Structure 1
Amino acid sequence: MVNTVLDKVPAKYRDTALIRLFGLTKVPLLFWLRPKVIELSDKRCSILIPLNRRTKNHLNSMYFGVLACGADAAGGLSAMKHIMQSGKKVSLAFKEFNAKFLKRAEGDVLFNCEQGEEISAFVEKVLASDERQNMPVKIIATCPSIDEHEPVAEFELVLSLKKKS
């Protein structure tokens, strides 16, 4: 019954509810930031975090800690999608985090991860092994209301997965 109802809800609303529920139960800061899933497909994950009183700094641009949360959410949600599709239990963590802040994010920020297919193959590799595996994941952040093509930040996170016994 629940799956029948969920199948009738548009994917972006269902995915937004999923990430917010995850935030509410596991990472309260993520819930507080109110991320919105724009796209979650086998190829791409796009998450929008609004620039508002909760997310801005003293310069009226997005606080760099919020930018870090957005990158974590975009890479993590993409991996969670593929893990959930596998039906197996996998431990997910980020091992490294590198960021380049290119310009001030003075509007809502869109975080894009374009490595969905690579992450899917990586999950399959992890499931075939008993070892922890690592993969670099790239996230590009833009402010679509200002310039949808010019990045405000670039992130590289090392996704670390291990099949649970």
Structure 2
Amino acid sequence: MNKAFFKSLMTTQLPIAWIAGVRLNQWEENKVSTKVKFGFLNQNPFKSMFWAVQGMAAEFSSGLMVNAKIQSSGEDISMLVIGMQAKFLKKAVGKIIFTCDQGEEIEAAIREAVATKQGVMLTVKSRGVDEQNDIVSEFEFTWTFKVR
């Protein structure tokens, strides 16, 4: 994954996230981060970032890694978010970076789904931090994996 491919994916598959300002920040084998900058198009009436924009950026940080791990497994596996929880700890203004660093756990869940041919659920966390490195929000996404 690189920034050009991410832009292509976003503008063709989910343009609302691109318009809201969701961008790829960093890609590593077991850690993916996205960023979004507070602005006119993603604000709420309280002069902070709308919670759904934070949710999109957070989901992408986990979902991109989930998709990459499925592709590298070589198996035909479905992936789906079946649950989400969020905590909002500080007003989201400025640039917010959402990071998911659970690549190894995602890989293990995919291996389990392949080995057992059963659906496997995994809750993955994405934490959003501001430019002062303060946590502004935390999202937990429950992903399910199943071999088709």
TM-score by length of structure 2 reads 0.90
Measured on the aligned residues, the alpha-carbon RMSD in Å equals 1.6
Residues 1:30 and 2:14 aligned together: no
Following superposition, the deviation at residue 45 of structure 1 comes to 0.8
Residues 1:151 and 2:138 aligned together: no
Instruction: Trace 1:1-165 onto structure 2 (pairs within 5 A).
Output: 14-144=1-131, 147-148=132-133, 150-164=134-148
Q: Deviations over 1:15-71 (max 9, x none)?
A: 233333333343332232342222222221111112122212222211011011111
Structure 2, unaligned runs of 5 or more: none
Residue identity over aligned pairs, in percent, reads 26
Q: Is the 8 A contact 1:126 1:161 kept in 2?
A: yes
Structure 1, unaligned runs of 5 or more: 1-13
The size of the alignment, in residue pairs, is: 148
Q: Is the 8 A contact 1:130 1:162 kept in 2?
A: yes
Q: Is the 8 A contact 1:21 1:31 kept in 2?
A: no
Q: Is the 8 A contact 1:41 1:116 kept in 2?
A: no
Aligned to 1:4: none
TM-score by length of structure 1 reads 0.81
Following superposition, the deviation at residue 77 of structure 1 comes to 0.7
